[in-house]
Copies of this chain bind each other. A is one copy, B any other.
């Protein structure tokens, strides 16, 4: 797609037309196309790595000027083994259970009148994601598996890698309705998408909460936002303290840069004395800066935590600690400051765990487990298109199911509503049964 609004509109219209055809492809046709993408990546390592080098070189120039971090350069970089894992991921998407061609419920309304709720693709999905070249392939693969057309907007730092990967995907899927995947590059093109509410069914932006908020404020297209995670671990008075130490350590240190890492550790006052010195020294040995409230500072020597800390996603080796008086106060703190992503309670008391889990309004609430489990792969959803911090349509890690919606199929035999209205109305039966659409008896 070239860089002007007319051609973007044309591309999105092509995607819309393709979506209607995609919805009618069989699982075998979609899986064959996914294998073709994996094969194309396998047989073009040289071409991909050549283009990727351009992005990496540009990233290193920015790094030298202090405009980029080493971590970001590392994320940009592809390698033979990285490419192998990408094609492997595409094949694993093909192997996943088909989210389509599924009857979700079947209900007899009356004799000869059967209603089927059938899983179908959403249509055209617009995605905006960060500068990892594997993100483009993953999102395209999930969209194809779920029968959706997709608009792909990656980070500009990965533009050469994205271009070659997109070209290979299109070439490999020549049997799929043309136009199903569209690649856009400029911010202005994203702005053009926002006005296309008649043509795009869902936007899935990944990024900062400011960015996602900007998208939400400037479109009437439904948005499935993937924003930041201000996640909590609460060490209850009934906690196994060794477990609490291991989980809190893992939740911060295992991968501090991601949205499901813990940012604030809440500690029940009655275990603060026994717990805090140990966890703080483990954190400090691992290079984690600990900031604490006044009460925390009465147990351990750490920097001040301020109001701002409670609402911050550090995404780094920093953690804030607060000592609280009760389970209710822990729930209150999390309700006030959480981004509703993932919270975990460490306790041996299942009633207190239940109270914590029932009262919190976060997508994922854990008992005796690290917040880092909050992830589509670990949850068994296969790959994920993002982690939704909204509550509508899909919540938490979003896999193939989140890329589907449903249609109602009603099979009748000339049934009219007049028979079910008025004085002599026939009563409905409304009984669920084990049936799938299309009904075979009909054939």
For A224, the chain B residues whose CB sits under 8 A away are 392
Q: Given contacts A197-B216, A243-B414, A378-B420, is CB(A408)–CB(B365) below 8 Å?
A: yes
| Interface class of chain A by DSSP | mixed
* Nearest neighbor of A105 in chain B, beta-carbon distance: B380
What CA separation (Å) do A418 and B336 show in the bound complex?
A: 30
Q: Given contacts A222-B222, A430-B380, A438-B350, is CB(A246)–CB(B414) below 8 Å?
A: yes
User: Which residues A184-201 have CB closer than 8 A to chain B?
Assistant: 197, 201
* Nearest neighbor of A396 in chain B, beta-carbon distance: B408
A1 to chain B, nearest CB (A): 23
Which stretch, A73-81, A308-316, A367-375, touches the partner chain B?
Answer: A367-375
What CA separation (Å) do A222 and B428 show in the bound complex?
A: 34
User: Which residues A1-58 have CB closer than 8 A to chain B?
Assistant: 19-20, 23-24
Q: Which one of B380, B393, B407 lies within 8 Å of A107 (CB-CB)?
A: B380
Which stretch, A59-67, A85-93, A273-281, A354-362, touches the partner chain B?
Answer: A354-362
Assess whether A412 is interfacial by the CB under 8 Å rule: yes
What CA separation (Å) do A21 and B379 show in the bound complex?
A: 28
What CA separation (Å) do A76 and B195 show in the bound complex?
A: 38
What CA separation (Å) do A319 and B345 show in the bound complex?
A: 61
What CA separation (Å) do A374 and B410 show in the bound complex?
A: 9
* Nearest neighbor of A17 in chain B, beta-carbon distance: B335
Assess whether A98 is interfacial by the CB under 8 Å rule: no
Kindly report how many copies of this chain are found in the complex they form together: 2
Q: Is the CB of B428 within 8 A of A380?
A: yes
Assess whether A102 is interfacial by the CB under 8 Å rule: no
Assess whether A254 is interfacial by the CB under 8 Å rule: yes
What CA separation (Å) do A65 and B213 show in the bound complex?
A: 47
What CA separation (Å) do A121 and B244 show in the bound complex?
A: 30
What CA separation (Å) do A368 and B113 show in the bound complex?
A: 9
What CA separation (Å) do A392 and B395 show in the bound complex?
A: 13
For A378, the chain B residues whose CB sits under 8 A away are 109, 417, 420, 428
Assess whether A390 is interfacial by the CB under 8 Å rule: yes
For A393, the chain B residues whose CB sits under 8 A away are 222, 392-393
Assess whether A115 is interfacial by the CB under 8 Å rule: yes
Q: Is the CB of A109 within 8 A of B392?
A: no
Assess whether A131 is interfacial by the CB under 8 Å rule: no
A131 to chain B, nearest CB (A): 23
For A420, the chain B residues whose CB sits under 8 A away are 378
Q: Given contacts A109-B380, A361-B123, A438-B354, is CB(A416)–CB(B370) below 8 Å?
A: yes
Q: Is the CB of A411 within 8 A of B220?
A: no
Mask of A340-367 contacts with B, CB within 8 angstroms, 1/0 = 0000001000110110011101111111
Q: Is the CB of A368 within 8 A of B405?
A: no
Pull 21 A–B residue pairs with CB atoms less than 8 Å apart, ordered by A: A109-B380, A115-B380, A201-B392, A202-B391, A222-B390, A243-B413, A246-B416, A353-B442, A364-B407, A365-B409, A366-B412, A368-B414, A368-B415, A369-B410, A370-B412, A372-B417, A373-B415, A373-B417, A379-B408, A392-B392, A395-B407
Q: Apart from A109-B380, A364-B407, A368-B414, what are 7 other A-B pairs with CB-CB below 8 Å?
A: A243-B413, A254-B416, A254-B418, A363-B407, A364-B409, A373-B410, A395-B405
Across the A-B interface, the 7 shortest Cβ-Cβ residue pairs? A369-B412, A250-B416, A243-B414, A380-B430, A216-B220, A372-B417, A393-B393
